[in-house]
Amino acid sequence: MDIDAFTEVLQNMDITFVLVFCVVFLLCYYALRKPNDIPPGPVTVPFFGNIPQLARTNQLLLFRKWRQQYGDIFSVYMGNQLLVVLNGYKTIKEALVSRGNVFSDRPQNFMLNKIKEGQGILFTSGTSWKMQRKFVLNCLQEFGFGRNSSEVCITDEAKILIELMEQNADAPLNLKYVITVCVSNVMCGIVLGKRFSQDDKQFLEVLANISEDAKHLGNASILMNCFPFLQY
């Protein structure tokens, strides 16, 4: 096609179509472009990152595949939020132990920041975290945390867990709620001074509701973190 023919084609094209095409092209270009100083990772979808790949397949198998393809350190995008994934004992130890002062901060979580307004020991960092951690430890120590009384609770629950596993040695045993009840009983023993049976229906219902609420909060949190405009 010579220059005159190409010029004629451009003149006949709708200017609106050209503008829309240019805008879409630029948006896709900037959405797909990754910084040069981040680890390698899978190809992203504009605006959604790697969410489509994660949503339509087994996430554990997918992460194993990406590890084999990109190594022990690779990057994943949840929407426009960059996540760096670490694999392997040596890599994780180097990041969280050898360089713990660099990687000790909690990630910014839009959903939890909206709900908790930056408070709470689990998802804060820096001075706020140190102050709240000190307060929580002081309160727990008043209930016996870190003393022989807490060790007794942990030992008793460990014995019960072992007995349950031995009783079901010849049959499949779902350890999800068994371990949850044991861990919860340690805290209940310290804070409430009592424990609950593995067969306590009311206690199991409370734990199931907490687990379900955490699951829903986690799903909503992922969407809100990736697409903050959904709050409106």
Question: Are both 24 and 41 inside the same structural domain?
Answer: no
Residue 57 lies in a domain: yes
Is the pLDDT confidence value at 114 over 80? Answer: no
Instruction: State the Cα–Cα distance between residues 21 and 44, nearest whole angstrom.
Output: 20
Let me know whether 24 and 54 are in one domain: no
Task: Out of 55-59, 85-89, 119-123, give the one with best mean pLDDT.
Answer: 85-89
Cβ 40 vs Cβ 76: under 8 Å:
no
Q: Does any domain span residue 82?
A: yes
Residue 52 lies in a domain: yes
Please say which residue of 104, 126, 151 terminates a domain.
104
Top-ranked range on mean pLDDT: pick from 44-53, 105-114, 118-127, 145-154: 44-53
Q: Does the pLDDT of residue 71 top 80, yes or no?
A: yes
> Helix, strand, or coil here: 47?
coil
| Whether residues 2 and 40 fall in one domain | no
Comparing C-alpha atoms, which of 191, 189, 184 is closest to residue 152? 189
Residues 26 and 86 in one domain: no
Do 26 and 42 fall into the same domain? no
- Among 1-10, 24-33, 67-76, 166-175, the range scoring the smallest mean pLDDT is 1-10
What number of CA atoms fall less than 13 Å from residue 89's CA on the CB side?
A: 0
Q: Please report, as a single letter, which amino acid is at residue 44.
A: T
- Inter-CA distances, 216 with 94, 105, 107, 122, 173, Å: 33, 25, 19, 18, 26
**3-class state of residue 35 by DSSP:** coil
Using pLDDT thresholds of 50, 70 and 90, give the confidence band for residue 13: low
pLDDT at 111: 66
* Residue 57: pLDDT over 70: yes
In a domain, 178, yes or no: no
Domain count for the chain: 2
Please tell me which residue, 64 or 131, carries the higher pLDDT value.
64
Residue 79 token pair: 């929407």
From the list 41, 43, 91, the residue with the least C-alpha distance to 70 is 41
Query: What local confidence, expressed as pLDDT, does residue 67 receive?
Result: 92
Q: Are 68 and 99 part of one and the same domain?
A: yes
**Under a CB-based contact definition with an 8 Å cutoff, are residues 39 and 74 in contact?**
yes
Are residues 50 and 22 part of one domain?
Answer: no
Question: Is 87 within a domain?
Answer: yes
Residue 220 lies in a domain: no
232: its two tokens: 């409106």
Residues 5 and 44 both lie in one domain:
no
- Based on the fold, state whether residues 50 and 98 are members of the same structural domain: yes
Whether residues 2 and 55 share a domain: the answer is no
81 token code pair: 């939020």
Q: Which residue in the block uniquely carries the two structure tokens 């179509």?
A: 17
Do 5 and 52 fall into the same domain? no
Final residue belonging to a domain, choices 79, 104, 129: 104
In a domain, 18, yes or no: yes
Task: Write down which residue in 59, 81, 104 finishes a domain.
Answer: 104
- Domain residues for the domain of 92 are 35-104
Q: Is residue 86 in a domain?
A: yes
Quick one: DSSP state of residue 220?
A: H
57 and 24 share one domain:
no
- Tens digits of residue pLDDT in 154-172: 888 888 888 888 888 788 8
Query: What is the C-alpha to C-alpha distance for residues 123 and 109, in angstroms, rounded to an integer?
Result: 8
Give burial (CB, 10 Å; 0-12/13-18/19+) of 47: middle
